Amino acid sequence: MPISNTCVKTGQHSVAMTQIPYPDQPGPGQALIRTTLSTICGSDMHLVDEMPIPAGVPMGHEAIGVVEAVGAGVTNFKAGDRVASGCLACCGMCKRCQEGDHSVCETFNAPGNLLFGAQGEYFLVNGAQAGLAKVPDSLSDEQVLFVTDIMSTGFAAIERAGIRTGDTVAIFAQGPVGLCATAGARALGAGRIIAVESIPERVAMSKRFGADIVLDPADAVAKIQQMTGNRGVDIAVEALGHQATFANACASVRIGGTVSSVGVYGAFPELTMATGGTFIHRKLVTTLCPVGTNRLERLMALIAGGTVDLTPLLTHSMKISDTPAGYDLFRKREGGVLKIALRP
């Protein structure tokens, strides 16, 4: 029976490492994965610091690893396969999955289908047949790690907004998801990308990922209107999860344009938006990270072809056994931290 040293929530604002036993033989539809690379996500911080998730829950949902064993019904993967696992479980068979909306799978009771336990030496994947993807030998763990969540989410923010070639896109906040949205806007044909960020390290990274200009949040709306002749942008992405950035995104989009909201809003606050002239004949879309084998394979194809390189997001590295220290670092945002590579 494999024993995994895994990071678990122990209370509000606290995590610790503990030993979790896993069965030698996974259950039907499951796969047991030995972790080779994991990380800490901003949504992990929300789960630990703000959301009513009980103590004892194993943390982590972004990981690359090697299949140790599979349960009944899993025929696409076998022991020894190197795989990426989507951050949300999906069955591939329900109506929503059949329509391409794997992230809101009915079988796994979305949105309660988040992967847990990836910040450990082993983790279990439900819906492995539809939710895993083999990693090509030509790609490193570091290159593909973010297809499991933030790359898929950031790109989906642009895709769901219905980008057209040459669109002007504003992306509010350049944390990991916002930076992936910036990379996605560039890869998907944006004509001009306006990023909004004030942290110097993130400003520099934003330009590296494709932003044409980076504005300070304090006067971003006014400058966007000035830059667009008071027309507004075609797409405004809210990538932080705050009322202020949501309101600014709404105020920056043109008539007929789209606000795409992908920020995680912590403890699920109520948001307000203007209903007068500033949001007439505009659209609002939200996105839960797209998952499934096909989605993961398509994202890895972009990486293999050289279209996208997200490895600069891995600003720090530590052992999985030191994950609690990573939470402290992430919470304080010290040393220009964006993402932390967690290795066995």
Band (pLDDT 50/70/90 cuts) for residue 334 is confident
Co-location of 201 and 176 in the same domain: yes
pLDDT tens-digit series, residues 8-18:
999 999 999 99
Co-location of 337 and 317 in the same domain: yes
Q: Looking at 286, 308, 335, which one is the last position of a domain?
A: 286
Co-location of 201 and 309 in the same domain: no
pLDDT tens-digit series, residues 140-151:
999 999 999 999
Q: What pLDDT is attached to residue 156?
A: 98
pLDDT tens-digit series, residues 212-226:
999 999 999 999 999
Q: What pLDDT is attached to residue 268?
A: 63
Residue 267 has pLDDT above 70, yes or no: no
pLDDT tens-digit series, residues 106-142:
999 877 789 999 999 999 999 999 999 999 999 999 9
Which of 32-41, 133-142, 278-287, 288-297 is least confident?
A: 278-287
Co-location of 235 and 282 in the same domain: yes
- DSSP letter string over 228-243? TTTS-EEEEEE-S--H
Which of 227-241, 286-300, 325-339 is least confident?
A: 325-339
Query: Measuring CA to CA, how many Å separate 150 from each of 35, 42, 264, 312, 324?
Result: 18, 10, 12, 14, 21
Total domains in the chain come to 2
pLDDT tens-digit series, residues 303-333:
999 999 999 999 999 999 999 999 999 998 8
Co-location of 269 and 294 in the same domain: no
Q: What pLDDT is attached to residue 266?
A: 65
Asked, as a colleague might, if the bond just before 28 is cis with ω within 30 of 0, I would say no
Co-location of 237 and 214 in the same domain: yes
Band (pLDDT 50/70/90 cuts) for residue 74 is very high
Q: Looking at 237, 262, 286, which one is the last position of a domain?
A: 286
Band (pLDDT 50/70/90 cuts) for residue 166 is very high
Query: Measuring CA to CA, how many Å separate 314 from each of 76, 121, 136, 205?
Result: 30, 19, 20, 12
- Mean pLDDT over all residues of the chain? 95
Co-location of 78 and 106 in the same domain: yes
Q: Which domain holds residue 314?
A: 3-148+290-343
Co-location of 62 and 176 in the same domain: no
134, β-bridge pairs: 83
Residue 44 has pLDDT above 80, yes or no: yes
What percentage of the chain reaches a pLDDT higher than 90? Answer: 88
Co-location of 118 and 199 in the same domain: no
In angstroms, the CA 138 to CA 145 distance is 14
Strand residues in the chain grouped as ranges (E): 3-11, 14-21, 31-38, 63-70, 82-85, 122-125, 132-134, 168-172, 192-196, 213-215, 233-238, 253-261, 283-286, 314-319, 339-343
Q: What pLDDT is attached to residue 50?
A: 86
Q: What pLDDT is attached to residue 16?
A: 98
Q: Looking at 286, 301, 330, which one is the last position of a domain?
A: 286
CATH of the domain at 234: 3.40.50.720
Residue 98, both tokens: 């059949």
Co-location of 183 and 123 in the same domain: no
H or E stretch covering 225: helix 220-227
Co-location of 107 and 10 in the same domain: yes
pLDDT tens-digit series, residues 248-263:
999 999 999 999 999 8
Q: What pLDDT is attached to residue 95?
A: 96
Co-location of 144 and 194 in the same domain: no
CATH of the domain at 78: 3.90.180.10
